[in-house]
């Protein structure tokens, strides 16, 4: 029997809660026993002093680099992933879910996430998606110049004021975020909603079916601001460019170039300032206090992950932008090894999965097989869900062979994970409660089920309704939205200043208290980084 895409996604997710630890996941990107070549061969000197150093080039790191550059502060960005440039008129650089190869995965031969593709091991490569197999949860992130913006669904969803104020400390004022910081990011990333002509095209039938069910169920919906170039999607639909967004190709990058990723805006402008350099394939392995600044050890790697040279970089100001997983791993390690021994005991705590779930139901129509992307419609079940506010986003699907709709769910975070250094594995490990051990996680499942049953009850004809409701399936064992680990008003202040240290900042998802209030995190992470950088540049950085 052919395994369908829905079975693949939900089947693998269902088993994730029981996931064992993968000793390679989250470790330094190295062939550990390899002999590094001389430092000179990689373009970075063996040792270097810079004023500001940014680790990671995702949403937080890119915003930090941009503001440092615009303020003429000489800055180096160390990013362990490679560059992925889409060049007009040339084949795109990314692999696809139809024809998957090693470009899909960060230094793994087997951790495929969305594919009907090859069953044989893939070539080990510095590919785009990393899967962390942690204790109780699987977490997906991206490694690339531009971090998560290369693989994301381009969704820039702003949380509601009511939800935001339940999650964030009162020191972060929603009205100011709404007035200043959220719009800044939306403008810089040139985000907007799906236009009518694209939504009404045959490739977007699934979205129209979702809108129809939601209207009949009384579920409020919105067209989301997405950092997508819809002109490019239009050209895809006209057959002038490779079908990428419109074919539901999201997770491994977009070959048509439809994503307004960070390398096209924040990072590009940072480099154009003349004060920011980006060093790709540069994996930071440790951080140490050094005089009034910091010393960072970094491995330059080739595209198979082999270390080609080792470097030590010192800086006055260090900005952590390696994402919730990367930043937390590095800080937990530094505390454990005593290289940043004054870090607060709150480092590694208040980690959350953003209240994420995945769910689906059968529709008895071809809706599911024709859901073009990126994700662009959200349902806001905030009024009458008895388990709490639930957000659902219709998920685009490449190669779906089944008549089902798939959704990403997000809720307010109610559960906390924690990180500990594991000497045997020689890495920081994330511990997360399972559905068997946590009422809060059971509640997440019920909340998402409640909203999906509401939608499934609208399936027509009436004879198909029971099968649709019975097919509702929710999975809670994985997230692509890690948040926390160096949280504001705990391990850091609300501007990302790390407690116990001067000149050390967290500006990425690690700063967020467990989730971004029933919304996808990228917009809030970037807007918070805008807020941090405004304050830090004005008050902390000396000429």
Ligand X SMILES: Cc1cc2nc3c(=O)[nH]c(=O)nc-3n(C[C@H](O)[C@H](O)[C@H](O)COP(=O)(O)OP(=O)(O)OC[C@H]3O[C@@H](n4cnc5c(N)ncnc54)[C@H](O)[C@@H]3O)c2cc1C
Residues that bind ligand X (CB under 6 A): 55-61, 78-81, 140-144, 147-148, 151-155, 251, 283-284, 321-324, 326, 330, 480-481, 508-509, 520-523, 525
Element of type H or E holding 371: none
Give the other-Cβ count within 10 Å of 529's Cβ: 31
Smallest separation (angstroms) from ligand X to the CB of 453: 25
In the bound state with ligand X, the residue whose beta carbon lies nearer, of 228 and 443, is 228
Smallest separation (angstroms) from ligand X to the CB of 159: 11
Smallest separation (angstroms) from ligand X to the CB of 443: 23
In the bound state with ligand X, the residue whose beta carbon lies nearer, of 327 and 404, is 327
CA distances to 59, 149, 403, 422, 482 from 142, in Å: 11, 8, 30, 23, 11
In the bound state with ligand X, the residue whose beta carbon lies nearer, of 468 and 526, is 526
In the bound state with ligand X, the residue whose beta carbon lies nearer, of 450 and 493, is 493
In the bound state with ligand X, the residue whose beta carbon lies nearer, of 321 and 355, is 321
Q: Which residues contact 142 (CB under 8 A, 6 or more apart)?
A: 58, 81, 128, 129, 130, 148, 149, 150, 151, 152
Could you give the CA distance from residue 387 to residue 266 in angstroms, rounded to a whole number?
Answer: 39
* Three-class DSSP category at 228: strand
Phi, then psi, of 339 in degrees rounded to 5 = -85, -20
Smallest separation (angstroms) from ligand X to the CB of 252: 9
Asked if 306 and 34 touch (Cβ cutoff 8 Å), the reply is yes
In the bound state with ligand X, the residue whose beta carbon lies nearer, of 188 and 459, is 188
In the bound state with ligand X, the residue whose beta carbon lies nearer, of 293 and 323, is 323
In the bound state with ligand X, the residue whose beta carbon lies nearer, of 297 and 457, is 297
Smallest separation (angstroms) from ligand X to the CB of 463: 36
Give the other-Cβ count within 10 Å of 275's Cβ: 18
Residue written as token pair 């061969």:
41
CA distances to 35, 40, 294, 308 from 45, in Å: 17, 6, 17, 13
In the bound state with ligand X, the residue whose beta carbon lies nearer, of 422 and 457, is 422
> What is the DSSP annotation of 83-121?
P----TTS--SS--SSS--GGGBBS-SS---S-S---SP
- The alpha carbon dihedral of 510, 513, 514, 518 has a sign of negative
**Among 527, 532, 531, 505, which residue's Cα sits nearest to residue 516?**
527
Smallest separation (angstroms) from ligand X to the CB of 220: 20
In the bound state with ligand X, the residue whose beta carbon lies nearer, of 225 and 365, is 225
Tokens of 170: 């009162």
Could you give the CA distance from residue 479 to residue 139 in angstroms, rounded to a whole number?
Answer: 5
Smallest separation (angstroms) from ligand X to the CB of 263: 11
Element of type H or E holding 523: helix 522-539
Smallest separation (angstroms) from ligand X to the CB of 77: 9
Asked if 150 and 168 touch (Cβ cutoff 8 Å), the reply is no
Smallest separation (angstroms) from ligand X to the CB of 154: 6
Smallest separation (angstroms) from ligand X to the CB of 508: 3
For the purposes of burial, counting CB atoms within 10 Å of the CB of 274, is it exposed (0-12), middle (13-18) or buried (19 or more)? exposed
Tokens of 96: 């696809």
């Amino acid at each position: 029997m052919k395994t369908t895409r829905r079975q693949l996604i939900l089947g693998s997710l269902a088993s994730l809660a029981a996931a064992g630890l993968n000793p390679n996941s989250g470790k330094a990107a190295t062939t550990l026993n390899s002999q590094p070549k001389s430092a000179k061969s990689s373009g970075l000197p063996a040792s270097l002093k810079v004023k500001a150093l940014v680790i990671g080039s995702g949403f937080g790191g890119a915003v930090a680099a941009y503001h440092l550059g615009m303020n003429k502060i000489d800055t180096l960005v160390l990013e362990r992933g490679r560059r992925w440039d889409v060049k007009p008129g040339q084949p795109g650089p990314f692999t696809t879910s139809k024809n998957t190869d090693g470009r899909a995965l960060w230094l793994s031969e087997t951790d495929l996430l969305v594919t009907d593709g090859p069953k044989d091991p893939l070539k080990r490569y510095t590919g785009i998606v990393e899967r962390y197999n942690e204790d109780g949860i699987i977490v997906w992130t991206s490694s690339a110049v531009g971090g998560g913006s290369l693989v994301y669904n381009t969704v820039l969803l702003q949380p509601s004021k009511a939800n935001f104020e339940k999650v964030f400390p009162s020191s972060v004022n929603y009205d100011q975020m709404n007035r200043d910081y959220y719009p800044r990011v939306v403008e810089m990333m040139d985000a907007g909603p799906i236009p009518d002509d694209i939504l009404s095209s045959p490739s977007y039938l699934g979205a129209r079916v979702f809108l129809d069910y939601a209207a009949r169920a009384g579920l409020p919906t919105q067209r989301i601001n997405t950092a997508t170039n819809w002109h490019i999607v239009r050209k895809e639909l006209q057959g002038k460019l490779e079908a990428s967004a419109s074919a539901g190709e999201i997770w491994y990058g977009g070959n048509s170039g439809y994503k307004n990723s960070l390398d096209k805006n924040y990072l590009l402008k940072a480099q154009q300032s003349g004060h920011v350099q980006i060093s790709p394939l540069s994996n930071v392995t440790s951080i140490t206090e050094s005089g009034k600044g910091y010393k960072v050890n970094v491995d330059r790697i080739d595209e198979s992950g082999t270390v080609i040279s080792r470097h030590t970089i010192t800086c006055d100001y260090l900005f952590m932008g390696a994402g919730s997983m990367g930043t937390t791993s590095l800080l937990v390690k530094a505390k454990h090894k005593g290289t940043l021994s004054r870090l607060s005991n709150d480092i590694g705590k208040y980690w959350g999965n953003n209240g994420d779930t995945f769910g689906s139901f059968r529709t008895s129509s071809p809706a599911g097989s024709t859901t073009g992307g990126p994700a662009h419609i959200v349902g806001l079940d905030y009024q009458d869900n008895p388990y709490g506010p639930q957000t659902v986003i219709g998920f685009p699907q490449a190669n779906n062979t089944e008549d089902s709709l798939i959704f990403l769910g997000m809720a307010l975070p109610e559960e906390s994970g924690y990180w500990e250094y594991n000497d045997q594995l020689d890495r920081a490990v994330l511990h997360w409660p399972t559905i068997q051990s946590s009422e809060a996680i059971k509640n997440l499942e019920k909340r998402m089920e409640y909203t999906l049953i509401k939608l499934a009850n609208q399936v027509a004809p009436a004879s198909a309704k029971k099968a649709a409701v019975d097919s509702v399936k929710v999975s809670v064992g994985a997230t692509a939205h890690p948040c926390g680990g160096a949280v504001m008003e705990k391990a850091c202040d609300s501007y990302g200043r790390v407690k116990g240290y001067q000149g050390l900042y967290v500006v990425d998802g690690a700063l967020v208290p467990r989730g971004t209030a029933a919304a996808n995190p990228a917009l809030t992470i970037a807007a918070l980084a805008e807020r941090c950088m405004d304050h830090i540049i004005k008050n902390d950085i000396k000429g």
